[in-house]
Amino acid sequence: MNEIKISKLLAIIAVVFVSAALVTLPYQSQVANAAPMKRYQVYVTLTGVPANADNLVMNATLNRAFTFNQETTVSSPSEGDVVKFVFRVPSETNIVDLVVCGAQQGNPELVDCNLYSLPSKGGGPIRVNFAYPTS
């Protein structure tokens, strides 16, 4: 008889814990994502793009102790096209530089990378020029 009471009590306790977990589940992701973040907007203006240029695979990397990397393909690029990268990084991360690379999609050995130092004090968007790799 005593074992039945203990089993029922344990079952009730288990139901309470499972219910509490299910009720708070939608809020757990908000708490996990509550860490403050910094946003970096990088605008890369393409220069020196020849007529009928091959697609360009662009890569932007923010550097410090960790790297934050994004890649995109620019189809049929032309002079003055602007490629936008948006990074969200933990606010305690001090980004020191930006590396922008581009490679012709049809000719991947034609690649170029540029390193840009970032100001120690953040601010508005980061705007850089990038020459289309041709040789």
What are the pLDDT digits (tens) for 5-45?
666 666 666 666 666 666 666 655 555 556 788 888 999 99
Count, residues in the chain = 135
User: What pLDDT, in 10s, does the model give residues 71-114?
Assistant: 999 999 999 999 999 988 888 877 888 999 999 988 888 899 99
Mark whether 1 and 13 lie in a shared domain. yes
* Domain count within the chain: 2
**In whole angstroms, what is the distance from residue 101 CA to residue 13 CA?**
57
Residues contacting 134, CB < 8 A, separation 6+: 48, 50, 110
Tell me, what CATH number does 88's domain have?
2.60.40.4150
Mark whether 87 and 112 lie in a shared domain. yes
Q: Residue 3 sits in which domain range?
A: 1-34
Which residues lie across from 131 on neighbouring strands?
A: 47
**In whole angstroms, what is the distance from residue 49 CA to residue 44 CA?**
13
Mark whether 101 and 46 lie in a shared domain. yes
Residues contacting 111, CB < 8 A, separation 6+: 101, 102, 103, 104, 133
pLDDT reported for residue 34: 65
Mark whether 18 and 60 lie in a shared domain. no
Mark whether 9 and 46 lie in a shared domain. no
Mark whether 79 and 111 lie in a shared domain. yes
Q: What is the pTM of this model?
A: 0.69
